[in-house]
Amino acid sequence: MEAVVKKFPEKPEGSDVVRPSRAEAEAAVETLLRWIGEDPDREGLKETPKRVVKAYEELFGGYRSEPAEVLGRVFEEVAGYNDVVLVKDIKFHSHCEHHMVPVIGKAHVAYLPDGRVLGLSKIARLVDIFGRRLQTQEAMTAQIADALMKTVKPRGIAVILEAEHLCMSMRGIRSQGSSTFTGTYRGVFADDAAQQDRILRLLGL
Ligand SMILES: Nc1nc2c(ncn2[C@@H]2O[C@H](COP(=O)(O)OP(=O)(O)OP(=O)(O)O)[C@@H](O)[C@H]2O)c(=O)[nH]1
Ligand SMILES: [Zn+2]
């Protein structure tokens, strides 16, 4: 998926934190290499701080994308279709905000249009943007729903995420193979249990 290339924001939203230079970021990686017991000057690691910073630009590129811009193109014409649109199994990679360790999962997004539909790829782009930021799975679920509610203004939204948190399997409790489900429902999906059940049935959940 090609990214909308923009500079990283100089400051996180609502914060006074000043973004360090690239050289400072690379020096921080070098410090961590020394901290784990490595020699950053050995041949194989010489370029590693540069590579890590470059990889971070991509892995955390979600800070450079505006969800509203990505969702900008909404089709006003529904051409006779006014029922549920469900995009399931949108694979995503993210990092938890507690350990910055990968979270690997799938998102399922359903909405009931109200005269406006969205290009299907835009939903996957939205999941990708929030996945490339640090947050909890709960927050990511709510962020996807909020962005869609704001832009598409549908009658209802259901967002369900299932993910494996590697901070639970590679470290800490080292519990293998568990997944976490989160779901949020807005509009008719929040008000009408039958509509909510319909989505869960379509997903086989
Ligand atoms: N609710 C929620 N918790 C998360 C998510 N990602 C990671 N965590 C949890 O965040 C918690 C952080 O707990 P702390 O006790 O502060 O940190 P810790 O000592 O590293 O915790 P352990 O993982 O239990 O070793 C852990 O229980 C993680 O499993 C998430 O998306 N949502
Ligand atoms: Zn974690």
Question: If you measure from the C-alpha of residue 202 to the centroid of ligand 2, how many angstroms do you get, rounded to a whole number?
Answer: 30
Q: Can you list the pairs that 151-154 forms with residues at least 24 positions away whose Cβ atoms lie under 8 Å? A: 151/67, 151/68, 151/71, 151/72, 151/74, 151/118, 152/71, 152/74, 152/111, 152/113, 152/116, 152/117, 152/118, 153/114, 153/116, 154/111, 154/112, 154/113, 154/114, 154/116, 154/187
Nearest-CA residue for atom 17 of ligand 1: 98
**Which of 117-121, 187-191, 198-202 has the lowest average pLDDT?**
117-121
> Taking 70 as the threshold, does the pLDDT of residue 137 lie above it?
yes
Do 186 and 145 meet the contact criterion of CB atoms below 8 Å apart? Answer: yes
**Average of pLDDT values for 44-50?**
98
> Taking 70 as the threshold, does the pLDDT of residue 7 lie above it?
no
**Which of 12-16, 48-52, 107-111 has the lowest average pLDDT?**
12-16
- Specify the pLDDT at position 3: 46
Question: If you measure from the C-alpha of residue 45 to the centroid of ligand 2, how many angstroms do you get, rounded to a whole number?
Answer: 26
Task: Give per-residue pLDDT as tens, 78-98.
Answer: 667 889 999 999 999 999 999
Residue 16, Cα to own-chain centre: how many angstroms?
24
Burial class of residue 194, CB neighbours in 10 A (0-12, 13-18, 19+): exposed
**Which of 66-80, 84-98, 115-129 has the lowest average pLDDT?**
66-80
- Specify the pLDDT at position 6: 62
Q: What are phi and psi of 28, to 5 degrees?
A: -65, -40
Task: Give per-residue pLDDT as tens, 146-160.
Answer: 999 998 999 999 999
- Specify the pLDDT at position 17: 83
Check pocket membership of 47 for ligand 1, CB cut-off 6 A. no
User: Is the pTM above the cut of 0.95?
Assistant: no
Helix or strand or coil: residue 158? strand
Q: Which of 69, 93, 98, 138 is catalytic?
A: 98
Confidence of residue 75 (pLDDT cuts 50, 70, 90): confident
Question: If you measure from the C-alpha of residue 31 to the centroid of ligand 2, how many angstroms do you get, rounded to a whole number?
Answer: 22
Class (C level, CATH) for 69-202: alpha beta
Residue to mutate, 98, 101, 137, 180, ligand 1, most ligand atoms under 8 Å from C-beta: 98
- Average pLDDT for the chain: 91
Check pocket membership of 167 for ligand 1, CB cut-off 6 A. yes
For domain 22-59, give the CATH number.
1.10.286.10
Domain positions in the chain? 22-59, 69-202
Q: Quote the CA–CA distance of 152 and 112 in Å, as a whole number.
A: 10
